[in-house]
Amino acid sequence: MTADFIISALVTVVGISTPILLAATGELVVEKSGVLNLGVEGMMLIGAVTGFAVTFTTFNPWLGVLAAALAGAAVSMVFAVLVLSLGSNQVATGLALTILGIGLSTLIGAGFVGIIVAPFTSIFPDWLAKDPFLRIVFGYSPLVYLALAIVFSVGWFLNKTHAGLVLRAVGENDISAHSIGYSVIGIRYAAVAFGGALAGIAGSYFSMVITPMWAEQMTAGRGWIALALVVFSGWKAGRLVVGAYLFGLLMTLELYAKATGFSVFPSQFWASMPYVMAIVVLAIISIRNKTGSEAPACLGKPFMSN
């Protein structure tokens, strides 16, 4: 095993884990506010198709990412109205959002199948981005740095700011937060919109960076991995990064096993590994926290102020 091989593997791990890190960071904020949005996969697909379509029409990947964020946030509002204003069941409504996202993205993307755009890769000069060693720092799409900046900002926001404290209070004890005078519903709307925007950007990573094209259901269940990642992290931003890279490592192993054809196990074994490991990890985490005290106390419970 050469140093070159290790570096290229590391670069792949960082890149491939970025969308699940983005989506999980958004979902972390949503869940911290006490809302469980299972529609991550659907919002990612909406982001994927929107990001691709806008990049293809405007030739500007930044506009594509912005549009993906807006589209993700917009579609998350359908969920928010039902769950927050009408008090509907969060599990079922989140599923409905995923089903809608699959259908809507297929509908919008029908005209874009088979087209390729220039991948949204590193904006650093080639002598940095393509350098055999330095590419481990400079060789990524701007979205990779954006994702890291966002996850650290979110960690800082949740733990060090007053607004973050309010958001956590809403998720831990909605009735008290309401009686002190905070708008529980308003804060949750904002959290859901933020989660939608990050899921949208996460989706655009698939259609603009990993494979710069649109394909139906191209996120292939990664939204669900992001949901598992939030549980894995114990609702802590720092641990999200570690978890995302662990899953990224698994997905990289799958890629290498497929590409080299050198594997004792069939390719399907590797393809199912991230999902199997997600289950195993959930079990280990749950054994460790038998009490389940790490989850926000109001997670998934409806709140109606009147």
Stretch that binds another protein, among 15-23, 52-60, 87-95, 198-206 (CB under 8 A): 87-95
Q: Which of 126, 279, 297, 301 binds another protein (CB under 8 A)?
A: 279
Residue 79 and residue 94 in contact, taking contact as beta carbons nearer than 8 Å? yes
Rounded (10°) CA dihedral 22, 304, 297, 244: -10
Q: Which of 127, 264, 290, 293 binds another protein (CB under 8 A)?
A: 290
Q: How many CA atoms lie within 13 Å of 126's alpha carbon, on the beta-carbon side?
A: 0
- 189 phi/psi in degrees, rounded to 5: -55, -45
Q: Does 103 bind another protein (CB under 8 A)?
A: yes
Q: Does 156 bind another protein (CB under 8 A)?
A: no
Written as six digits, the tokens of 77 are 């509002």
What is the nearest approach in angstroms of another protein to the Cβ of residue 217? 10
Closer residue to another protein in complex, CB, 23/143: 23
Identify the burial level of 13 via C-beta atoms within 10 angstroms of its C-beta, where 0-12 means exposed, 13-18 middle and 19 or more buried: buried
Q: DSSP string spanning 155-223? A: HHHHHHSHHHHHHHHHHH-HHHHHHHT--HHHHHHHHHHHHHHHHHHHHHHIIIIISSBB-TTTTTTHH
Q: Does 186 bind another protein (CB under 8 A)?
A: no
What is the nearest approach in angstroms of another protein to the Cβ of residue 282? 5
What is the nearest approach in angstroms of another protein to the Cβ of residue 167? 22
Q: Does 115 bind another protein (CB under 8 A)?
A: no
Q: Binding pattern to another protein, positions 52-81, x when CB under 8 A?
A: --------------------------x---
Closer residue to another protein in complex, CB, 110/163: 110
3-state SS class at 116:
strand
Q: Does 255 bind another protein (CB under 8 A)?
A: no
Residue 36 and residue 65 in contact, taking contact as beta carbons nearer than 8 Å? no
Where do contacts with another protein occur on this chain (CB under 8 A)? 38, 78, 82, 86-89, 91-93, 95-97, 99-100, 102-104, 106-107, 110, 216, 221, 224, 227-228, 231, 266, 268-269, 271-272, 275-276, 278-279, 282-283, 286-287, 290, 292, 304, 306
